[in-house]
Structure 1
Amino acid sequence: MLIRNKALFNKGLMLMGSFLCVFVSLFLPIWGGHGNGLDAADNMFNRLSKGSSYFIPGVKEDALKLEGKSVTITVKVKDAELAPRAVENLVKAGATAEFKDGAITYSGDLGKVLGAALIDADDLFNNRGPAVLERYAATEKNAEKTIVKAWWAVLDPSIKELQKQKLIQEAKVVGQVNKRGLEPGYNFYGINSEKVLDNVLPLVGLLAFYVLYTMWYGYAIFDMFAGIGLGMSKPKTKSEA
């Protein structure tokens, strides 16, 4: 390989070598906890996301307005294994429910059904899984998550069925229960909640590192290529005779 500027090439090589050392270290369990650097960063962003994703109290108010609204709905649950658990959830909420021919038919007070689902979601979001297990006397592994997942599985197809019955506002509330209640509860279960204002320095430091690390790699490539004569320069203009 023809090196035209050895000093510049060596500078780029040194930058690339140090870049790779840091890169490899990001995959080693030396950043605290039980994971690597990527896990540590991911966990921090998950904690911050959870701190700004607690919408359940507001959704509960909307669900409360639907108490006394009786509905009868037949839906197909995509995951048939969740159907028996979904039926148990509905019965526990005071509805009548039956799983037959691949579909669940349930009747009851929609407000109370949604309220029961949100109680489970709230417990899961706040890492109170044992409270969910006790409520349903469930003992199987990860039953608290299965219970909330079963709620989502039966309520999600209920949205279209309610729309078909011209119950548009009711369908909207069910959608909010799923999106802003059950999903955050399920996804953030087991994660501690933190506020962005309490983690400004780590957050700024991580973003600054990302920008610096990107430039680090860019300058390494730039200097190495410039060292072998493949630099970027403005072409000279030919003067006319």
Structure 2
Amino acid sequence: MASSAQLKARGYLLLASFFAVLVAIFMPLFPSVHGGKVNGLDYLDNFFNELSKGSAYYIDKQLEKVAKYAGQEFSTSMKMKSADDAALAGKLFTTNGIPAQVEDTLVKVNGDFGAMLTAMLKDADLMYNNDGAAITAKYAVNERKAMLTWYQALTAMEKDLTKTEKFEQAQVVKATMTKAVEPAYNYYKVEAKSVKAEMVLLIASLAFYVIYTMWYGFGLLYLFEGAGIKLEH
């Protein structure tokens, strides 16, 4: 059986090495997708974003679902957060052939429901595939701002359609927002990778997480036992 001094030595050694590795994790030692170096947390955060992006693409399915609404007339009013947001929302709609009237923070639209959703989904597809330049060229506005305005417009539209008991349309609008516009905005400039192609790094990172957690735990365990504190199961 190890003596108290030996247990303390093990504990100090494990904790010292644990914090040494922790310092290294927070240092810019890892390659960045944009060049240069980043810390370990940013590296792994981007890595898991790349993996999740590969399984978060639903835009093609949404395009199929909204096709049945082509030619269906609709009208709605959207309360935007500011007059500038309303003006930009009006510009997005009219650029895509959807008539829109802007009155301060209120945007009133009417037209082809299917065509409107299809335009939004195609913009989301461009954004999802990191082609923000095409959106900027289309609307003469920053691509992130354009997609954020689409998201805000859809949010306000869903509220209005639900309020007027147009539940089917509200559901389709929400799906367009959550399964297309939102992930396209969140994953912009992230390169999608398949889990199969990155299996080695994925297993290594998960194994490191488990080992690193146990590393700290055993360090404390040995330190406490060396100090005469018994830990019971």
Normalising TM by the smaller chain, what interval? over 0.9
TM-score by length of 1: 0.90
Matches within 5 A, 1:73-222: 73-136=76-139, 138=140, 140=141, 143-222=142-221
Tell me, in whole angstroms, the C-alpha distance in 1 between the residues paired with 2:77 and 2:224.
Answer: 66
Q: Deviations over 1:168-220 (max 9, x none)?
A: 22111111110001001111110100011111111111111000000000000
1:20 Cα deviation from its structure 2 partner: 0.5
Specify the code of the residue in structure 2 equivalent to 1:67.
Answer: A
Moved more, 79-88 or 12-21: 79-88
- Partner SS, residue 196 of structure 1: coil
Q: Deviations over 1:23-80 (max 9, x none)?
A: 0100001122231000110010000010001100000111111111111111211254
Change (3 A) 1:79 1:102: closer
- Partner SS, residue 184 of structure 2: helix
Change (3 A) 1:86 1:12: same
Tell me, in whole angstroms, the C-alpha distance in 1 between the residues paired with 2:161 and 2:102.
Answer: 19
Tell me, in whole angstroms, the C-alpha distance in 1 between the residues paired with 2:189 and 2:77.
Answer: 33
TM-score by length of 2: 0.93
Larger Rg: 1
- Partner SS, residue 77 of structure 2: strand
1:233 Cα deviation from its structure 2 partner: 5.2
1:102 Cα deviation from its structure 2 partner: 2.2
- Structure 2 unaligned runs (5+)? none
Tell me, in whole angstroms, the C-alpha distance in 1 between the residues paired with 2:24 and 2:97.
Answer: 55
Aligned positions, number: 227
- Structure 1 unaligned runs (5+)? 235-241
8 A Cα contact 2:80 2:105, kept in partner = yes
Moved more, 188-197 or 60-69: 60-69
Tell me, in whole angstroms, the C-alpha distance in 1 between the residues paired with 2:232 and 2:22.
Answer: 30
Let me know the Cα RMSD of the aligned residues.
Answer: 1.5
1:167 Cα deviation from its structure 2 partner: 2.3
- Partner SS, residue 78 of structure 2: strand
